[in-house]
Structure 1
Amino acid sequence: MADTTLQDTLRVHSFASTEPGPRLVVLGGVHGNETCGTVGIERTIAELDSGALTLLRGELTLVPTANPLARRLLQREGERNLNRSFRPSEAPPDYEARITNLLCPLLDRHDVLLDLHSFQSAGEAFAMIGPRDNAGALEPFARATEEGRLALHIGTPRVVEGWLDIYAASLAQRAGGTPADDAALAFGWGTNEYMRSRGGYGVTLECGQHTDPAAPVVAHAAIHSALRLLGMVAGEAVAPPQPALLRLVSVTDRLDEEDQFVREWATFDAVAQGEPIGVRADGRMLHAERDGFIVFPNTEAGAGTEWFYFAVASDRAL
């Protein structure tokens, strides 16, 4: 278990205009080794403090480092992944659960969430959105149009959908086809799933590779784009061309630390059906299930954790 003897403080910056308007919350550093969101948020705070940026209406809350313990350790997690099991608990069993209990009421007070992340492999920035409008049991939702507009205006070349669907399918596959119960599905909840469950909407922005010097620039620009789209600051919100939209269809776990990729993959590398992707420790080869794209290939994944995702072209338009 990680050392939590040092006191950690969740730093929250709130700005409120006298004119009513949308309520936006921006999170950085949900994972401690993802620093681009923190840098982008700190730059925005400095602009607001200096008067270089003026909030014209609504409320803006900025959390530069959502997981102080993980940041202090400079690793993805403190005691566990903060972006899983993200909902309040009466008796929080670990550090991330205690932080979740602080963040959930914060999200409750807002309409819109922008969660800033980065990833381990090489690859371009992209946005992640939730389901289309639906009344199903897994993730009912009625604000897909607004969420899609936010993802579109952020301006990444790709947008990805389908996280909770493939998480539920993965659980069922591991259980031999038995649908997962609510407790198991709750582990798949992150910040955006929680935000949607509270009547809001949210976009996760993956700003690029962890150490890419352009990633903090992407994060900072996205905050400005969201503020302009919501009419919270001056400036016209101009939508870029329609991005390529992909749908996650599967996730593959690393079963053994000897499992290896056949080559160094980058996020959004295209593969053809049957193309080899990786080889298991026992020599079994993993092939692409169909034409598609590798997402989040993680050479540092531990045994029993997500090794890579697989996506295909989506028919959805934002």
Structure 2
Amino acid sequence: MVKSSVPTALPIQQIVGLNSGPKLIVLGAVHGNETCGTEAIRRLLQELEQGTLRIERGTLTMVPIANPLAYQLKRRHGDRNLNRSMRVTDVPQDFEDRIANVLCPLLQAHDALLDLHSFHTPGIPFALIGPCNNHGDLQPFSRAEAEEAMALRLGVNRFVEGWLETYAQGVADRQARGAAASLDYGVGTTETMRRYGGIAITLECGQHEDEKAPQLAYDAVRHTLAHLGMVTDTVRSPTKESEIIRLYQVVDRLHPDDRFSRNWRSFERTERGEVLAHRHDGAELTADKDGWIVFPNPNAQVDQEWFYLAEASQRLAR
């Protein structure tokens, strides 16, 4: 790549209300091929400029393209996956390190994060939420109720928990078999935000090419602004028919010839004993309990996450 073609800046738009209030940050294109958030943010910026949307209180910060190199390349990452290892570093080694050095302090200066994403296989939109309140070592948290209240007003009824502990076990499994594995345990935007004391939700708005995804992303930002009292829009009632799913295992691809038993869709139901995939040597991978297959990626790289297994949770039962 020609050096001059590498982005040298991160565009950020900020609107500060004249009355004090919450500080919300919205991210688009953390993964460069997930552009629904970018489209939604640009629409919101146009409305703010025209005056059809007004921030009455608090601060709204929007980053339409959080990873400009990945966006320019029209792929998930630039040099690496920004949303698996976020940290401030004095000696940045790649483009995503430089982006993280800007994003981390920006997140720390806010109270809430809405990170807008999409996914590659067909499925319905969902929100990834953090842990219950806890004092553990991996991801201590004390604002679960506030985060849940925000999540329930995004316009989706499927919620997923268990990300970080599942990914941490996946990292441990990689280390045990001698594969390279980051010690950051899958820490991305939302995990970083929670470590700074804020609340954070990743909203998966639909398949990459789904024409409805940008609208869902836009509506979610509007609902969040109303919920936080930053605009005068009517506050959306919380979703009543919620389904929450807990991730409990990540399965890595170990060989280029590992293959799925069929073309799985994310969140397809699975039955205990059902064959999900085949290793290159013919070994079968089966579901150990009734549940779901989540984030199946037929193009996964070797020693990277291939698919997740999930089970039902009663966390948001009302």
Q: Same fold (TM over 0.5)?
A: yes
Match of 1:204 among 191, 202, 205: 202
Give the distance between the partners of 1:158 and 1:23, measured in 2 at CA. Answer: 26
Describe the superposition over 1:242-299 as per-residue Cα deviations: whole angstroms up to 9, x where unpaired.
4100100011111112111111111110000011111111111111111001111111
Alignment of 1:54-69 (within 5 A): 54-69=54-69
Q: Deviations over 1:202-251 (max 9, x none)?
A: 00001111111111111111101110110111122221214100100011
Write the letter of the residue equivalent to 2:10. Answer: L
Whether the aligned pair in 1 keeps the contact of 2:174 and 2:303 (CA below 8 Å) is no
Partner of 1:180: none
CA contact (8 A) 1:152 1:242 kept: no
The alignment-based identity, stated in percent, is 48
Aligned residues between the structures: 313
Show structure 1 runs of 5+ residues with no match.
Answer: 178-182
For 1:49, the equivalent position in structure 2 comes to 49
Aligned-residue Cα RMSD (Å) equals 1.6
Partner of 2:94: 94
For 1:255 and 1:3, the matched residues in 2 are separated by: 33
For 2:259 and 2:168, how far apart are their aligned partners in 1?
25
5+ unaligned residues in a row in structure 2: which ranges? Answer: none
1:1-318 superposed matches below 5 A: 4-8=3-7, 9-176=9-176, 184-237=182-235, 238-317=237-316
Q: Kindly provide the amino acid, as one letter, of the partner of residue 233 in structure 1.
A: V
Deviation larger for 22-31 or 210-219:
210-219
Q: Deviations over 1:81-103 (max 9, x none)?
A: 01122010011110000010011
TM-score (norm 1): 0.95
Alignment CA distance shift 1:7-1:314 (3 Å):
same
Cα offset, 1:24, TM superposition:
0.1
Residue pair 2:155, 2:216 contacting (<8 A) in 1 also: no
Matches of 2:190 and 2:11 in 1, distance apart? 20
Secondary structure at 1:290 match in 2: coil
Give the 3-state SS of the residue equivalent to 1:241 in structure 2. Answer: coil
Take 1:4 and 1:212, find their aligned partners in 2: how far apart are those partners? Answer: 34
Amino acid at match of 2:188: G
Secondary structure, in 3 states, of the residue corresponding to 1:300?
coil
Which secondary structure does the structure 2 equivalent of 1:154 belong to?
A: coil
TM-score (norm 2): 0.95
CA distance in 2, matches of 1:281, 1:66: 37
List, as ranges, runs of 4+ consecutive aligned residues in structure 1 with deviation greater than 2 Å.
2-5, 171-177
C-alpha displacement of 1:61: 0.3
